[in-house]
Structures are given as structure tokens and as C-alpha cells.
Structure 1
Amino acid sequence: MLQTAIALVVFLFPLAYSPGPGNMFFAANGARFGFRSTVPANAGYHIATWVVTVAIGLGFIAALDKFPQLFVGLKIAGSLYVLWIAWKLFKSDTLEGKEEAKPATFVDGIVLLILNPKAYVIIALMFTQFLGTSETGTLVSVVLISTIFTFNNLVAFSIWALIGDKIAGYFRTPESAQKLNMMFGGILAAAAVWMLLS
């Protein structure tokens, strides 16, 4: 199983650490509110990731195959949700002191995962590559693969949130903070469009 775990991490590395929508979401929140403030959303996202991954591993993906309109609905809803977050970030003019601007919450993390059908595709693809065909130990394999996948994503998102936090350290004046917020708002908006079109 160790060999499978190593192969799984290698397989997931470019998917988890490249600048995708999830990573950009946490980088933007890290830049806007600091690394520590991203912990609740990160926890929500990854608890939901583990639950959804186990569910897909045990056959939930069959429901998406039977109801493809559900996939389309999730894609649209997820894109609109990220666009809404991007808009709130884009219109914030400082890094501190804006009451309407708040860090992403535990629930925001859950919603981001649930409304991200691209995650379902990656999870399903992962299981087709790494879940053995033998019935023996299938539950154990699903749980192990789900745990490795979730932990790997948690590390990636945390790194991106930390990068965002460190970048923000150079943008503490109101003028530069506004530019940073607009930049990350634009990046999140692009990520939302990416989610919609992918």
C-alpha cells in the first residue's frame, strides 16, 4: 500500500499545487485577512472533501452519471458563488477596517467544495486509477485514498494561503491594499469562469 500511496501523491501533485480555483480562493483570503483567518474555511473545505471523497469512492459518482443535469447545476452554482466572493473582495478598499469584508468561514469552505464539480471529476478519476478491483478491503482502500487525497489538498491550500499572506505584507498602505484586493478579486473571478467552462 505504501507504493500506491507514493504513486497517488505523485499523481495528485500537479493537480493539488497548481494555481487552480481552490488554491486561488485561499491565496486571496490569505492575502486579504492573513493565514490564520483561512483556517476555518480550510477545515470546512477539507472535512467536506474527505466525506465527499469517501462517498464517491463508495459509489456516489453513479448518481452524477444518472443525473448529468446535477453536475451542470453544481458547476453554475459554484461559479456564481466564487464570483460573489470575488466581487466582495474586489470592492474592498483596504486590508483592515472594512466591516462588510469578512474572512471565509467554515461553512464557506464546505460550500466551495460541494459546489465544485471539478473536484468530483478529479476524485472519480483518482479512484479509477488507484482503487483495486478486488472486493476485499475496498472500504479500507477508499478511506486510505480519501485521507491521502484530503491531506495532500490541505497542505497545498495552506501553502497558497501562506503565500497570499506573505504577499500582503508588502501591501499595507491603503492604496496598495486596494490594488491587491482588486488583483485577487480579479483572479477569483477568473477562477469562477474557469470553473464554469472546465
Structure 2
Amino acid sequence: MAATVIGGLYMLYLALRIATAPPVAAEQGTHLPSFLGGFVLAIANPKAYAAIGSLYVGSLVDAQQGTRAAVGSVVVLAFVAVALNTTWLAFGAAIAAVLRDPRKARIANLVFALLLLASLVPLLLS
């Protein structure tokens, strides 16, 4: 129960930070992250470990199923990871221009904050 409350409060905090975040100035130069920076972020991403762990726990492979089933699971998970990362990359590239306009960026920040708050509804209903 305490972890749920702390997690919910943290989500509220994040929603507030998103809603009040300043828009990216159009004059600012775009700083592209390095490959090494992206690689380190991918390795250190706790959300990825939680998501992958939940997938594997939900589909444990019996010893009788053998190596073939385990390899199949890894291949499917790799495909899903590549598809999701590619989708996020495309979404980020598509929305970048919108986020450079201060008015549109403010609206986007409010929408993202509201979506984060909406994700708390199941927590409140349980």
C-alpha cells in the first residue's frame, strides 16, 4: 500500500513537472545525443528491465519445451523491442517541430500531463 501511494504521488509530481515545463526555444540549437549516450541510457533504463522481466515472468519456458522455445521467445522480444523503439523514434521526429512552437508546446505538455494523470485512474479504482 505504501509503495502504491508513493508511486501515485511521484506520478502526480511528474505530471506537474510536465505541465509546467517550458517549451523548447526555436533558437536553441539541436543537441543530438551521441551513440554512447544512447547506449548507456538503454543499458541503465530501469523501465526496460521491468518491462522485459514482466514479459519473461509471464511466459516462462518449461525445461521440456527446450532451447527452441527459449530462442523463439528471445526473437519475438527482440522484434517487439525494435518495433517499439522505431515507433518512438518516428513519433519523436514527428512531434519535434510541434514542440518548437511555444503555444503548441504548452498544449502538448498539458495533454501529456493529463494522459499521465489518466493513467492513475486504475490505481484509484483498485
TM-score normalized by the length of structure 1: 0.40
1:112 and 2:47 matched: yes
Cα distance, 1:166–1:142 mapped onto 2, change above 3 Å: same
Q: Structure 1: which 4+ aligned runs deviate by more than 6 Å?
A: none
Matches within 5 A, 1:76-155: 81-96=10-25, 106=41, 110-113=45-48, 120=54, 122-125=55-58, 127=59, 131=61, 134=64, 136-137=66-67, 141-155=69-83
**d(CA) in 1 for partners of 2:103 and 2:80?**
36
Matches within 5 A, 1:1-198: 73=3, 81-96=10-25, 106=41, 110-113=45-48, 120=54, 122-125=55-58, 127=59, 131=61, 134=64, 136-137=66-67, 141-191=69-119, 193=120, 196=123
Q: CA deviation at 1:92?
A: 0.8
Letter in 2 for 1:163: F
Unaligned runs of 5+ in 2: 29-39
Unaligned runs of 5+ in 1: 1-68, 98-104
**Root-mean-square deviation (CA), in Å?**
4.2
**Secondary structure at 1:95 match in 2:** coil
Q: CA deviation at 1:160?
A: 3.3
**Secondary structure at 2:69 match in 1:** helix
Cα distance, 1:142–1:136 mapped onto 2, change above 3 Å: closer
Q: Can you list the C-alpha shifts for 1:7-37, whole angstroms capped at 9, x where unaligned?
A: xxxxxxxxxxxxxxxxxxxxxxxxxxxxxxx
Letter in 1 for 2:23: T
Corresponding residue for residue 31 of structure 2:
none
Letter in 1 for 2:20: K
**d(CA) in 2 for partners of 1:151 and 1:142?**
14
Cα distance, 1:158–1:136 mapped onto 2, change above 3 Å: closer
Cα distance, 1:82–1:165 mapped onto 2, change above 3 Å: farther
* Larger RCO (alpha carbons 8 Å, 6+ apart): 2
User: Are the equivalent residues in 2 in contact too, given 1:168–1:180 (CA < 8 A)?
Assistant: no
**d(CA) in 2 for partners of 1:187 and 1:164?**
17
Letter in 2 for 1:177: A
Q: CA deviation at 1:180?
A: 1.2
TM-score normalized by the length of structure 2: 0.55
**d(CA) in 1 for partners of 2:92 and 2:56?**
26
